Amino acid sequence: MVGEKPKVASRLAQALGNYSVESNRGVKNYVLEKNGDKIIIAPAVGHIFNLEDQSDSWDYPVFDVEWAPTFETSDSADYMKKYYNNLRDQLEKADEYINACDYDLEGSVIGSNVIKHLTGASNERIKRMKFSTLTSSDLEEAYDNLESFDEGMTEAGLTRHILDFYYGINVSRALMKAVRDNDRYKTLSTGRVQGPALAMLAEKEREIMAFEPDPYWEIFLRNSEFDAKLERDGENRLWEEEAAEQIYSTVEGEDETIVSDVDTRNYKHKVPVPFNLTDLQSEASSQFNINPKQTQAIAQTLYENGLISYPRTESQKLPAKLGYENLLKKLKNQKNYEDLVKKVLGKDEIYPKQGGKEDDAHPAIYPTGEQPGNLSKKERKVYDLIVKRFFAVFGKAAQRQSVTMTLEVLGYEFKAKSKITLERNWFDLYDPYVRVEEAELPELEEGQRLDVDEFEKVEKETKPPRRYSQSGIVSELEKRNLGTKATRAQIVDRLYNRDYIENDPIEVTKLGLSIVSVLQKHCSEVVSEDLTRDFEEKMQNIRDGENSKDEVLSKAEKNLGKVLKAFKEKQKEIGSELVETIDAERNRKRKLGPCDKCEEEGRENGILQIIKTQNGRFVGCTNYPDCENTYPLPNNGTINSSDKECETCGKPMIFVERKNNRDYSMCVDPDCPSKDDW
């Protein structure tokens, strides 16, 4: 039996019975007997096999690929060698094999690659375990109901990997060779989903860049208890200054208004649906400012600890076979949730709100009821969010009330609006994560006269389109059926790593815009949503047995070959365009701002910049040797300008990115008072 990770292998063993531990090559295997069969549970560590280009050149196009041990294709995967050797040793002893990796495309590929490449076993000798939690009861049930080899899912997963390799390796090489032809080196990449994702962000960036604000005016009536806004023909913006001034000058001297209408409406605030991965990523971003990639990693840890169900799901449904009452009773044993569970169990009918999205492999994310051990601060937050969302879906709709009060002054109408909660219902089950407006107006009746404190005319401008947040672009990718629930956050992260995007909300860099421009001009199908979506449909067809892997790959090879041939003919020209942007971006990230010493001593054009030498890096002035102003820089991490000044001393700030995600900003001056607490 192959478990996807060592921790999962351990949980499988604990669930299936009394076991002994046998170490081999520094790896723990779990041995037990069940129903008269001897079972060896051996762990993988993710993808033990990866795709590799079979040619020795660094040219393109490349379509001759093979699966090879990951430790042979990646310098950072040497730790996998002992797991590979251990799996080979254990699989040699077996007559039958069980893929007990996660039940999705990735898990199917991981397990089947290990079994098939190390044993050559036929499909008939391979069984599949299907489970959605790592609780003992679910794992036991999955073992007692082993399924046959999941050929459709495995073939679809293998096809996805090869397609991604075709597009990723070929177009990335084409871009980098174009740059090298112009005597520059820069790691560039794109891919079957990465390209369309960047194109979407670039389209938004261009909209923002092209946006020209329009002025408008609003007129407010100020009362001691509330504000009301002028509304005319259903519009509260005045687009002509003359009209705004005329209305304002007419009403500004009035000190009294009359209530001409009070419109009260009661409505229901619907119960939320259960979390799928994208919904969880969006909510964790909104509530805790945790980015989608971190949320996915945290959810995976909670799953491996048996605390929640499988997180990489698209489903928003909780099937009845989960046993709602039993889950709730288990959660009641956790002191934090005892009172909330009592509220849910006290209902006449215990049935959850269901969402519209389904996943044929897993239900929506739900807590298993297992007692959590030591969780980190972020893990505790995400776990609490998942538990309370689970409670909320069993609640009743909240009862809300909106009030729109119309005030009349010399024939002009001003409207004041409020919303309040009458019955909280599911809000109580989801606290403190409920985000609703609560603003109450005084109780007034039609015909009632009120004092006016003042009128105010305010000039404003229309705002550009809103940028995508990290969670926003992940949600948009899901809406457009681009990528998978498991890969969308990783794709966004890769765009950051390639310097195509920065900040959150997301800004596309000049390099990112240039990459999209080049691809749209010379390699348009790599940024085509239609092509990517078509391949997603083809992979679903492979799962359903309607298309074959070879058929899909052959079409991709033919199409991509034509595109790359045309690209190669203009390679140097394309590279020239990219190099100009690469150089400009490098200079931008190096420049920190005006040199304080030059300003003090009256020298012009002194700019502080990041300087790299064989002996290290530091901040120096462009007026060197006339100005010898310098500041030290940290030894570790990637350092870029943050385009900000220190609030304490006014000197430039830098942003330091570190591999462990512990990024930070700092002032360049080591003696700045902002560092006193360091």
Q: What is the extent of the structural domain holding 427?
A: 215-270+398-461
d(CA 102, CA 312) in angstroms, rounded, equals 10
3-state secondary structure 632-671: ECCCCCEEEEEEEECCCCCCEEEEEECCCCCCEEEECCCC
pLDDT band (50, 70, 90) for residue 637: confident
Question: SS3 for 561?
Answer: helix
d(CA 311, CA 19) in angstroms, rounded, equals 28
| Whole-number percent of the chain with pLDDT over 90 | 89
Domain closes at, from 549, 582, 615: 582
Question: SS3 for 417?
Answer: strand
Please provide the average confidence, as pLDDT, over all residues in the chain. Answer: 95
Average pLDDT over residues 206-226: 97
Together in a domain, 21 and 139 = yes
Q: Which two tokens stand for residue 23?
A: 């170490």
Together in a domain, 283 and 376 = yes
Classify residue 162: in a domain, yes or no: no
The angle at the Cα of 288, spanning 283 to 289, to the nearest 5 degrees, equals 90
Please report the pLDDT score of residue 579 as a whole number: 94
Classify residue 466: in a domain, yes or no: no
Helices (H), 181-304: 194-210, 241-251, 277-288, 292-304
Domain closes at, from 553, 582, 611: 582
The one-letter amino acid at 519: L
pLDDT band (50, 70, 90) for residue 658: confident
The one-letter amino acid at 26: G
Together in a domain, 84 and 200 = no
Q: Dump pLDDT digits (tens) for 618-632.
A: 999 999 999 999 999
Which residues have C-beta within 8 Å of that of residue 329, sequence separation ≥ 6? 341, 345, 369
> Is 0.85 surpassed by the pTM of this model?
yes
Q: Dump pLDDT digits (tens) for 226-278.
A: 999 999 988 999 999 999 999 999 999 999 999 999 999 999 999 999 999 99
Please report the pLDDT score of residue 655 as a whole number: 87
**Least confident span in 105-114, 402-411, 509-518, 525-534:** 525-534
Please report the pLDDT score of residue 137 as a whole number: 95
Number of structural domains found in the chain: 5
Query: What amino acid positions are annotated as catalytic residues?
Result: 310
3-state secondary structure 111-155: HHHHHHHHHCCCHHHEEECCCCCCCHHHHHHHHHCCEECCHHHHH
Together in a domain, 130 and 26 = yes
Buried b (16+ CB within 10 A) or exposed e, 71-97: beeeeebeebeebbbbbbbbbeebeeb
Average pLDDT over residues 400-415: 97
Please report the pLDDT score of residue 644 as a whole number: 86
Average pLDDT over residues 483-492: 93
Together in a domain, 142 and 31 = yes
Please report the pLDDT score of residue 318 as a whole number: 98
Is 677 a residue whose pLDDT tops 80? no
Please report the pLDDT score of residue 331 as a whole number: 97
Classify residue 486: in a domain, yes or no: yes
d(CA 303, CA 300) in angstroms, rounded, equals 5
Q: Which two tokens stand for residue 87?
A: 């799996």
> What's the DSSP call for residue 329?
H
Together in a domain, 114 and 23 = yes
Together in a domain, 16 and 145 = yes
> What's the DSSP call for residue 366?
-
Question: SS3 for 370?
Answer: coil
Please report the pLDDT score of residue 638 as a whole number: 85
CA dihedral 517, 519, 520, 523 (to 10 degrees): 160
What are the distances in angstroms from CA 518 to CA 270, 412, 500, 587?
46, 55, 13, 21
Classify residue 156: in a domain, yes or no: no
Classify residue 221: in a domain, yes or no: yes
Question: Tell me, what CATH number does 144's domain have?
Answer: 3.40.50.140
H-helix or E-strand spanning residue 453: none
d(CA 433, CA 418) in angstroms, rounded, equals 21
Together in a domain, 620 and 641 = yes
Together in a domain, 377 and 296 = yes
Please report the pLDDT score of residue 366 as a whole number: 98
Q: What are phi and psi of 156, to 5 degrees?
A: -65, -40
Classify residue 164: in a domain, yes or no: no
H-helix or E-strand spanning residue 472: helix 470-479
Please report the pLDDT score of residue 587 as a whole number: 87
The angle at the Cα of 479, spanning 478 to 481, to the nearest 5 degrees, equals 60
Paired with 266 in beta bridges are 401
Classify residue 159: in a domain, yes or no: no
Together in a domain, 33 and 131 = yes
**324-332 vs 377-392: helix crossing angle, rounded to 10:** 140
Question: SS3 for 518?
Answer: helix
Q: Dump pLDDT digits (tens) for 150-182.
A: 999 999 999 999 999 999 999 999 999 999 999
Together in a domain, 24 and 129 = yes
- 298 alpha carbon, distance to own chain's centre: 12
Domain closes at, from 414, 431, 461: 461
Together in a domain, 383 and 406 = no
Classify residue 27: in a domain, yes or no: yes
For residue 635, count other CB atoms closer than 10 A to its CB. 7
| Whole-number percent of the chain with pLDDT over 70 | 100
Question: Tell me, what CATH number does 200's domain have?
Answer: 1.10.460.10
Q: Are 65 and 72 in contact (CB under 8 A)?
A: no
Task: Give which of 190, 278, 163, 191 is closest to 539, Cα–Cα.
Answer: 163
Task: Give which of 262, 282, 286 is closest to 273, Cα–Cα.
Answer: 282
The one-letter amino acid at 664: Y
Highest mean pLDDT among 451-465, 612-626, 635-649: 451-465
pLDDT band (50, 70, 90) for residue 661: low
Please report the pLDDT score of residue 660 as a whole number: 64
Average pLDDT over residues 23-39: 95
